[in-house]
């Protein structure tokens, strides 16, 4: 597991992706094309409600992502964690994302609140968002809630993707007053086959077999890389799920974005095609399938 010093020492290698080379000494240290694209499918704007984060100001976060070669970042809002007025949260998110060409807004919808249908409609029609993000742990509903199938159907009909955050913070570091367990993703197993046109991305997952294998067999299920640990974790993940289902995600600014990039390429086990797919190609295809 990388410590802080490791991350700082290897950050230059992560930046080198955007310049077209891997760090010397890896198994794939040959010159790489200079046109690697990076799409970060998992970032959040504004302030985490429980403590300040180094990059919780949008201009600083975007500046960091640009320095790492990120060309597009799918952004939701930390304000959605505790705010009940999600219409205002999503409006502010949309307005902020218009100021930065890299940012693609993913509005929050809470099916446990009255009027969630209106929030979903506004995300699609008023803010032209290509996807929405669900926070079941913080919004207090399980994934077998009776309203979830209708939400997925409406999203699929509207042509938007649905991101589901398995977690936002490790339970070991949470406030004593707010203890949120990881979302039980096994409840998706009987649900998603009933909504075959839905496209769902699981964020911050740390799944293991057999649940990972079972979910990977479902139509339209994708995962991100934000919480996987280990030098070869991303290549292993890419081999464990169906082709094209692993999307790069950093969970910035809660986690250090350099660390996510390092984990993606440092093993040298992904060839150029595999690296391009994880870093951007799979994400582009994911959105195109719903457009």
Encode the chain (291 residues) as per-residue pLDDT tens digits. 434 444 444 444 444 444 443 333 333 323 334 467 999 999 999 999 999 999 999 999 999 999 999 999 999 999 999 999 999 999 999 999 999 999 999 999 999 999 999 999 999 999 999 999 999 999 999 999 999 999 999 999 999 999 999 999 988 888 888 899 999 999 999 999 999 999 999 999 988 889 998 998 898 999 999 998 877 888 888 888 887 999 999 999 999 999 889 888 776 778 889 999 999 999 999 988 665
For residues 21 and 277, is the Cβ–Cβ distance under 8 A? no
Helix, strand, coil abundance in the chain, percent, nearest 5: 40, 15, 45
Give residue 29's pLDDT. Answer: 29
Q: 287: closest CA among 240, 251, 257, 244?
A: 244
- Cα-flanking dihedrals φ and ψ of residue 246, to 5°? -105, 120
Sign of CA pseudo-dihedral 37, 39, 45, 49: negative
| Separation between Cα atoms, residue 216 and residue 140, nearest integer Å | 25
Give residue 290's pLDDT. Answer: 61
Please state whether beta strands 246-247 and 70-77 pair in parallel, antiparallel, or not at all (unpaired).
unpaired
Q: How many residues does the chain have?
A: 291
Q: 247: closest CA among 267, 275, 214, 270?
A: 275
Give residue 118's pLDDT. Answer: 97
CA atoms within 13 Å, Cβ hemisphere of 177: 2
Domains present along the chain, CATH in parentheses: 36-170+184-290 (3.20.20.140)
Give residue 267's pLDDT. Answer: 62
pLDDT digit string, tens, across residues 167-214: 999 888 888 888 999 999 999 999 999 999 999 999 999 888 899 989
Give residue 6's pLDDT. Answer: 44
For residues 90 and 42, is the Cβ–Cβ distance under 8 A? no
The residues with which 75 forms a beta bridge, in sequence order, are 43, 105
242 cis-preceded (ω within 30 degrees of 0): no
Enumerate the H helices of the chain as residue ranges: 4-19, 58-67, 86-97, 116-121, 136-139, 148-158, 211-216, 233-240, 257-265, 272-276, 282-290
Give residue 191's pLDDT. Answer: 95
For residues 261 and 64, is the Cβ–Cβ distance under 8 A? no
Give residue 269's pLDDT. Answer: 77
Give residue 289's pLDDT. Answer: 67
């Amino acid at each position: 597991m990388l410590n802080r010093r490791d991350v700082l020492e290897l950050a230059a290698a992560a930046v080198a992706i955007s310049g077209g080379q891997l760090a010397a000494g890896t198994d794939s240290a040959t010159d790489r094309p200079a046109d690697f694209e990076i799409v970060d499918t998992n970032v959040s704007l504004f302030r985490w409600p429980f403590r300040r984060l180094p990059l919780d100001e949008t201009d600083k976060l975007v500046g960091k992502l640009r320095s790492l070669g990120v060309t597009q970042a799918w952004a939701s809002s930390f304000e959605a964690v505790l705010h009940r007025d999600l219409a205002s949260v999503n409006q502010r998110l949309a307005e902020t994302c218009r100021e930065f060409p890299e940012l693609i807004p993913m509005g929050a919808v809470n099916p446990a609140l009255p009027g969630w249908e209106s929030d979903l409609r506004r995300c699609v029609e008023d803010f032209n968002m290509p996807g929405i993000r669900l926070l079941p742990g913080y919004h207090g509903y399980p994934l077998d809630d009776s309203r979830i199938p209708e939400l997925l159907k409406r999203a699929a009909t509207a042509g938007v993707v649905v991101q589901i955050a398995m977690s936002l913070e490790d339970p070991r570091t949470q406030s004593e007053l707010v203890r949120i367990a990881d979302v039980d993703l096994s409840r998706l197993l009987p649900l998603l086959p009933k909504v075959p046109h839905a496209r769902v991305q699981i964020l911050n997952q740390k799944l293991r077999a057999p649940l990972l294998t079972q979910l990977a067999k479902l139509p339209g299920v994708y995962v991100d890389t934000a919480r996987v640990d280990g030098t070869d974790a991303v290549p292993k993940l890419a081999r464990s799920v169906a082709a094209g289902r692993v999307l790069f995600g950093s969970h910035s600014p809660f986690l250090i974005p350099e660390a996510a990039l390092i984990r993606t390429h440092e093993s040298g086990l992904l060839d150029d095609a595999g690296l391009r797919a994880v870093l951007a190609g799979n994400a582009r295809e994911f959105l195109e399938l719903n457009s």
